[in-house]
Amino acid sequence: MSRIPDPRVAVPPVDRSKLPAPGAGRAFRFPDIEKSVLPGGLRVWTIAHPSIPLTSLLLLIKRGAAADPRGREGLAAMTVDMLDEGSGDRTAIQLHEALAAIGAQLDSDIGPDAALIGTTVLSRFAERALHLLSDMVVRPSMREADFTRVRQLRLHRLVQLRDMPAALADRTFTNLLYGSHPYGHTPLGNERSLADMSVEDVRAFHADVLRPSETTLVAVGDCDHATMVRLAADAFADWRGTAAAAAPFDDELPHPARLNVIPRPGAPQSEVRIGHVAVPRNTPDYHALVAANMVLGGQFVSRINLNLREDKGFTYGARTSFDFRQQPGPFMLQVSVHTEATGRAIEESIAEIGDIRGRRPVTADELAMGVAALTRGYARSFETAEQIARAVTQLVLHDLPDDYFAQFVPAVERITPADVMRAAERHLHPDRLTTLIVGDLEIIGASLSELGLGEPVVLPAAV
Amino acid sequence: MNIPFEKYTLANGLDVLLHEDHGCPIVAVNLWYHVGSKNEVPGRTGFAHLFEHLMFEGSAHHDHGYFQPLQGAGGTLNGSTNADRTNYWEVVPANALELALWMESDRMGFLLPALTDAKFTNQRDVVLNERRQNYENRPYGLAPMVMLAALFPPDHPYHWTTIGEIDDLHAARLDDVRQFFSTYYHPANASLALAGDIDPGQALALARAYFEDIPAGPAVAAVRPPMPTLTGETRLLHEDRVELPRLYMAWHTPAMFAAGDADLDLAADILANGKTSRLYKRLVFEQRIATDVSAAQNSREVSGFLQIAATAAPGHHLTEIETAIIEEVAGLAVDGPSADEMDRGRVQAESQFMFRLQSVGGFGGKSDQLNAYNTLLGDPAYFPRDLERYQVVTRASLMGTVDRYLQNNRRVALSVVPRGRPELGLPGSTTAEVS
């Protein structure tokens, strides 16, 4: 039923000569986190978010692909992948039927520093979901036949990735920057390490590493803390143990060539990565770097996207990021450009990264733009139960204080243009940038030699 | 479960939908124009999407690009084009609602004075890059073009993809942009939803202030092409830069919200979505002759198609996969779903609909859903009835629908195989033409 607006109600005047300035922001408060520890060591953190009868349940395990033993790259991810391949008497299919019967879709994710497994369900199924999560994480079957099948699927996946320029670029670039360092491989592992892996490796990794001492259950939804603790204590009653100590990160970083190419004859676009190893999450320059990235390449209106896309029309989009990890993570520019524009796009990109260190000073307006995008829209990131739960896993992973989200906005607002340039100068090193291109070398070769980065090193499309 | 709202229609025909949700201090502004690639004509394909890009390049009273003020106010924004509609949205802090309305109304009312040839050429290049990145340089990326072209005849508006043909994008002219804007981008062909931390009275007053003076524009005739039919089995082959062959099989099916649409949604899940599906169990889990399998009932405004896709494991031929698909589809039509499958389908529908109530904005948020129901059905209150469509599916209705639409002798089978290996495709396939 549609209504006509009441014509007697006054309509405010419109002034198109200038944009309306936003009024005062409404206060945003991050909800309280309630915390308990179960006798077995599992931490239970809950947040009440009662608007909709849904509950998000996430288990964060503070070990990821960086914990893969050398020669067993991909083991952590394979172990996480084996969790839903059956439990007790239940086959993988039966386990998934049990999940489907409560409308649950399993969500699992693994990065260098951590693994995440969880689901969001109708709240009336939260207890059943917890028991299923426990079945998977505490009592996975880890049968050899299932392992062989899952490994085979993963090997097929690796074969397919050879033809996906973006995936190929990401995998190779990771290895260029880190070499044999624990961050030197993507979680998937490689063909050789997977071939060498056995179900015994997976069982041992599960027994040694996936322990409650490393794990936090984050529950967000219309549940109260006491109830969730009781349910979790019941579901995870027999889960105990302390993980083996993590291996130290003492590997030296390699010195990759400045310019590297994986030839892809006939490619209509070049997939480009430019970057170097940068800083860990606990850097005191964290907020300044987050702001610097907003100016440089973190959003649509950042310098690099406006230059490469909106000014030159070289690409559908370009972006930069600092991957803040426990140990120094990469700074990286990712872009896919028209083959013919490859050389110029790289030249422009490297110049932009250099310029933000001072040659083209960050203006107050530019910074205000980036800071506003980070701070004024901050509440947006905490709308759904799952968004809140994922945010909390960041607190767990990086040992951040409970008031971290409350402090983020004032901390970013304190940043000055000088702070940004100082942080950029300290942590961005144009002369150390490594460039990788997946593209048609025949066509782009000439333009690459003009970049002053030396002759390109040709790499195989190996995964 | 529902999305409560108020609906107003302004004098110029613009629908305004208001939904209050004070859970988070944000407001979603969501605007649908009832125009998509289905409104294009052969020779000018890709135009609706190219036009969407130009909507972000500035308008008469703010000719500096669309992103800066909104991102600077803490907003996030995007737009998208499909065959049937083009949507634009902003999610902003509650205090920036007026800014978002200023911006949206300026490009609805005053886009053309700010349009230049330079902007047009730049965005055409960006779109050509998008096409290369997401279709040409992506394994299996051209399969949608081949499949749509085979399912729908050349004069049917679902014959082409939304990204369009390269030649057509090059042939587009600035005058086409002006014509397109005048024809489709006006209040009577649009629907505006405001959802979130709003006061409905104030929000309506602001919507009126910014949109009421924009002229109504000409009526847009509905695109109602005749229902396409397949009279036999079409077998096509496309050689691509891929390692593993993949089979796509598709059938014509009912339009969105039409009788049978929900049955086929559930049938797609039972057949090939997730580890509990019949084809996953058979092809990936037990026989291990495929590496992945998926299915979707792609329902659109004037008709639909159900497509199943599966990638062959090394050493296995697509004929093995074809046999399995045909047998499982026939089995579902003859023996029907199990009681467990029906129960799971109902719980999953309930969960999925509940998930859809979590966000006020963005693609698929509550504001987008209100506009979808209003634009496609004229009924923004449709949410609970949409869920009911899934709850009333019975074993018998699902069997009957599968039997009626997923016929073995009225389908398209597309084999995408590694270059130089046509023998890996289904026998008797014709090489598809694709650009």
What are the structural domain ranges in chain B? 6-211, 233-431
Q: Residue A271: its chain B contacts at CB < 8 A?
A: 137
Cβ–Cβ pairs < 8 A, chains A and B: 233
- Considering only CB atoms, A269 lies closest to which of B10, B91, B132, namely B132
Q: Which fold has domain B6-211?
A: Cytochrome Bc1 Complex; Chain A, domain 1 (3.30.830)
From A221, which residue of chain B is nearest by alpha-carbon distance? B358
Mean pLDDT for each consecutive 10-residue tract of chain B (435 residues)?
A: 97 97 95 97 94 96 92 94 98 96 98 94 92 90 96 96 94 92 96 97 97 95 93 96 96 97 97 95 96 97 98 97 98 97 95 96 97 98 98 98 96 97 97 85
Q: CATH number of the domain at B233-431, please?
A: 3.30.830.10
Q: Which amino acid is at A270?
A: S
**B6-211 and B233-431 have identical folds:** yes
Domains of chain A: 34-235 (3.30.830.10), 259-458 (3.30.830.10)
Q: Do A383 and B358 touch (CB under 8 A)?
A: yes
What order do you get walking across the sheet with B246-253 strand by strand?
Answer: B290-299, B304-312, B246-253, B411-418, B233-240, B430-431
What pTM was estimated for this model as a whole?
0.94
> A72 and A247 in contact (C-beta within 8 Å)?
no
Q: Residue A162: its chain B contacts at CB < 8 A?
A: 243
Residue A226, CA atoms < 13 Å, CB-side half-sphere: 0
**Average pLDDT over chain A, rounded to an integer:** 94
ipTM of the prediction: 0.93
Q: Which of B375, B410, B411, B406 is nearest to B263 (CA)?
A: B406
Q: Residue B288: its chain A contacts at CB < 8 A?
A: 149, 152
- Considering only CB atoms, B281 lies closest to which of A93, A120, A377, namely A93
- Considering only CB atoms, B8 lies closest to which of A5, A121, A383, namely A5
> A371 and A100 in contact (C-beta within 8 Å)?
no
From A20, which residue of chain B is nearest by alpha-carbon distance? B99
Mutate to test the interface with B, among A269, A319, A408, A437 (most CBs of B within 10 A): A269
Provide the b/e sequence for A322-342 (b: ≥16 CB within 10 Å).
bbbbbbbbbbbbbbbbbbebb
Q: Residue B69: its chain A contacts at CB < 8 A?
A: 19
Cα radius of gyration (chain B): 23
From A100, which residue of chain B is nearest by alpha-carbon distance? B344
Structure-token pair, residue B388: 């009911």
- Considering only CB atoms, A313 lies closest to which of B75, B122, B352, namely B122
Q: Residue B138: its chain A contacts at CB < 8 A?
A: 164
A451 burial class (0-12, 13-18, 19+ CB within 10 angstroms)?
Answer: middle
What's the gap in Å between the CA of A333 and the closest CA on chain B?
16
Question: So what's the pLDDT on residue A23?
Answer: 83
Which residue positions in chain A have pLDDT lower than 70?
A: 463
- Considering only CB atoms, B8 lies closest to which of A4, A157, A163, namely A4
Beta strands (DSSP E) in A38-165 are 43-48, 54-61, 86-87, 90-91, 107-110, 115-122
Question: So what's the pLDDT on residue A463?
Answer: 64
Q: Which of A421, A435, A437 is nearest to A358 (CA)?
A: A421
Dihedral pair phi/psi, residue A432, rounded to 5°: -110, 0
